[in-house]
Amino acid sequence: MRKARKAGTTNSMTRATDHHPVRLRRSVLCVPADNARALAKIKDLAADAVIFDLEDAVAPERKTEARDDLVRHLSANRTDGEAIIRINVAESGFSDADLVAAVAVRADAILLPKVESPADIQGALDWLSENDAPETMRLWAMIETPRGVINAPAIAELGRTFGGRLDCFIVGLNDLGKETGVPALPGRTYLVPWLMQVLLAARGSGLDVIDAVYNDFRDPQGFAAECRQGRDMGYDGKMLIHPAQIDEANRRFGVDQAALDEARAIIAAFARPEHAEKGVINLDGRMVERLHLGQAQKLAAKAQIIEQRRAKP
């Protein structure tokens, strides 16, 4: 991928729809593309999405071999969840070949590492357009540097253009901590402001947003606590480094039954003929707006996806 040119203005872009398909992203497992044993196990895992990592997890001398192995694997094996390929940065010299591979296997999404400005997104969008990538192929962005956090609103806004390919952020706290010197203390005290800053930017442009990894997969209590925190902050799911973390992430970021019952009540109320033209209605003594209807519909759609997966043999 060539060095991204400076992003243009919004007026020169094709405006995308604000309504992307609802996707389940409670558990996003990262797997090194050169780990054959890990690749073979994916089909038996309950992760909502899998990131096949060609970047940090693969040594430079193994990049080409890992890419070739991944193409063979994805050409023969796909699961119900999303398949995302994390490519290398443009300066590495590997990114063009990574992109070609991602298009060849029709990955669901490409994860761009160390995104710091709208130009990084636009460069990928230009490449995909020029190389006839499927319109359904999405872009995800790792926000893992100080500049990435600062520019998150502009990066997210660009995702609403060029057909709206960008639809998800992942926060990378390991790199962010390394670059800032801020430690990952229990409770992430000094990191929470940045987590909320990225979340606000994502939500402002209609993107999903995934919480950072929890590094100690042998600490289930600590992982559960961080999942609760991430969900309370509004995150859609968590990036995982080990299959042992999948079930807990699915549970913590899943659909609460009480919330689902309320969502279905809101949907049913707005479906009544007398409420067809109303923007606000009275539901059991509460004022409910159409924005709540949109939230309810998204929650109900996620619950339906979960039920469909459970019903499969």
CB atoms within 10 A of CB 177: 18
pLDDT digits (tens, 9 = 90+) for 28-42: 999 999 999 999 999
In this model, does residue 5 exceed pLDDT 80?
no
- Is-above-0.85 flag for pTM? yes
Domain ranges of the chain: 20-252, 257-311
User: In the structure encoding, which two tokens stand for residue 193, read together?
Assistant: 């402001």
Which residue, chain included where needed, has tokens 């990928």?
124
In this model, does residue 139 exceed pLDDT 90?
yes
pLDDT digits (tens, 9 = 90+) for 99-132: 999 999 999 999 999 999 999 999 999 999 999 8
In CATH, which of 1.10.10.10, 3.20.20.60, 3.90.580.10, 3.50.50.60 is domain 20-252? 3.20.20.60
pLDDT of 174 = 95
Interstrand relation of 237-240 and 286-289 (parallel, antiparallel or unpaired) = unpaired
pLDDT digits (tens, 9 = 90+) for 177-197: 999 999 989 999 999 999 999
| 3-class secondary structure per residue, the chain | CCCCCCCCCHHHCCECCCCCCCCCCCEEEEEECCCHHHHHHHHHCCCCEEEEECCCCCCHHHHHHHHHHHHHHHHHCCCCCEEEEECCCHHHCCHHHHHHHHHHCCCCEEEECCCCCHHHHHHHHHHHHHCCCCCCCEEEEEECCHHHHHCHHHHHHHCCEHHHCEEEEEECHHHHHHHHCCCCCHHHCCCHHHHHHHHHHHHHCCCEEEECCCCCCCCHHHHHHHHHHHHHHCCCEEEECCHHHHHHHHHHCCCCHHHHHHHHHHHHHHCCHHHCCCCEEEECCEEEEHHHHHHHHHHHHHHHHHHHHHHCC
In this model, does residue 8 exceed pLDDT 50?
no
Higher pLDDT pick, 54 / 8:
54
pLDDT of 1 = 65
